[in-house]
Amino acid sequence: MHKTIAEATAFAAHFRAALSTLPDCDLLILPPFFCVRPVSDALAGTRVEVGAQDLYWETSGAFTGEVSAAMVRDAGGTHVLVGHSERRHVLGEADPVVARKLRGALDGGVTPVLCVGEMLAERELGNEEAVVASQLSSALDACTADDAARVIIAYEPVWAIGTGRTASPADARTMHRTVRTWFGARFGDSAAGRLRILYGGSARPDNAADLLGTDGVDGLLVGGASLDAGSFAAIARGVPSRSRRGGSG
């Protein structure tokens, strides 16, 4: 919940100016919904895609305050976050709600970025892999292999979001391997090989290169460090090469 339309479009203008200095990677910006169209217009003709931070699973109806996949598309959005840790743990969205939102995104033609991750207490108990596997199973249980090919996964260690703590590259590598292994068991090795898994948890310019150079980390889901265009551009510069299909969002 950051930035007015004027602030968001100024950010887009500054980021657009920095694009020529960035490596050839996929870039995605997810502003508040009312800023999706202005930011999309401000970045028109660039390689930067724009999406929404949330959606509702119905196409229309008496759901005051909610946004459908069709509305996201109409505003110029191509992607949407589903199950972000703040939606789960601050706003109380349970796994069944996340699953319905994922289905709504897929049915509505928007690419879902499914967020999964454990709380600190769950990690301290050694349950982090079970928690993430449960979240994946709930969200993707009704999906076909074709559906799964359209999903991006973002691993968010909740204990490392906004705390200044960051999962080590070894932590990220282990959990991303867990996600890919689960995905392969459910949808096949080919689907697992194509899956893009982002790391989200206090990614900053000073640690982005190490995280992006970690085996199995295909990109970053950037939080607070993305609020400044210069900081976000510095993170994108950490992408090692196009062959790793790195992306920042």
Instruction: Please give the average per-residue pLDDT across 53-65, as a whole number.
Output: 98
In order of start, what are the domains of the chain with their CATH numbers? 5-248 (3.20.20.70)
pLDDT in tens, 106-130: 999 999 999 999 998 999 899 999 9
pLDDT bucket at 161, cuts 50 / 70 / 90: confident
The model's pTM is 0.94
How confident is the model at residue 139, as a pLDDT?
A: 98
Q: Which residues contact 198 (CB under 8 A, 6 or more apart)?
A: 113, 152, 153, 154, 155, 217, 218, 219, 220, 221, 247, 249
Residues with active-site annotation: 84, 156
Which among 162, 223, 164 has a CA at the least distance from the CA of 198?
223
